[in-house]
Amino acid sequence: MKQIPFVKMHGAGNDFVLVDDLAGDFPIEDHRRIAAMATRPDGIGCEGVILVQRSDKADFRMRFFNPDGTEAEMCGNGARCVAAFAREIGAAKSDSMTFETAAGAVGAEILEPGLVKISVPPPRDKGEDFVIAGVPHKIVPVENVAKVDVVGSGRFIRNSEEFAPDGTNVDFVTYRQPNRAMVRTYERGVEAETGACGTGAIASAVIGVADYGLEFPVRVTTFMGYDLMIDGSYDGENFSGLTLTGPVKRLFSGVIDWDSLDLVNE
């Protein structure tokens, strides 16, 4: 039976299972078992499975899988966690590193134990309060984010024809000038409210700066109560130098029996 070592981490309340795949033998095509690994309570339980793979362009390559087994281009909090994990396993040789993602190259720096900053590519604006920050996000400004039906409203927007066929993440945001945002996110692939979303924090901040009078750096408070700091520059048309800084924590490590994972509807 195939035994897969893993480390469980969280970034600002967003939890992940991280796997050293430098040998390149992780069964990435077995999406049902990836989903089973992420399932609670039958699997390890997480909001994303992340692989560290070899790269000939950067220190390493990050592969990210949603809890439903689908692969996504990028995850902001996952990227911060993977930087700390890569340093732990030696895939990154120093506290400053660059790694590949499907959304482009990401730079990262471990500022101190438990605090990681990443540099991210400029977002792509695709419409009113809609932005691609590695992955798509629809921003919904609200007066009081605590009162929002995140699951019901988020699922409706995520599956609307406007965002077909792939759907979108949905971020409900309360803005407070000059530089505060409170965010709750319905995450595509998780298909539920997530504890935090790094790319959602970035998307919320850039829309806040561009359209709602906020100023960098923007402090984004997540559903779990953690703060993420988004900094950068905006010239009225374009963003540059965007960074996302926040906490990461190593929770535990273990080994899972891949072949014994329970598959839904097998």
As annotated, the active-site residues are: 75, 197
CA distance 85 to 3: 19
Name beta bridge partners: 218: 230
Instruction: With beta carbons less than 8 A apart as the criterion, state whether 117 and 235 touch.
Output: no
Please, what is the angle between helix 76-89 and helix 198-211, to 10°?
Answer: 130
- Answer left, alpha or beta for residue 79, where phi above 0 means left and psi between -120 and 50 means alpha: alpha
Residue 65 to residue 28: CA distance in whole angstroms: 9
Rounded-to-10 torsion of CA 99, 50, 115, 239: 50
How far out from the chain centre does Cα 247 lie? 13
For residue 181, give both structure tokens.
Answer: 């945002």
Instruction: Measure Cα distances from 191 to 48, 159, 170, 179, 221 in Å.
Output: 12, 10, 11, 29, 21
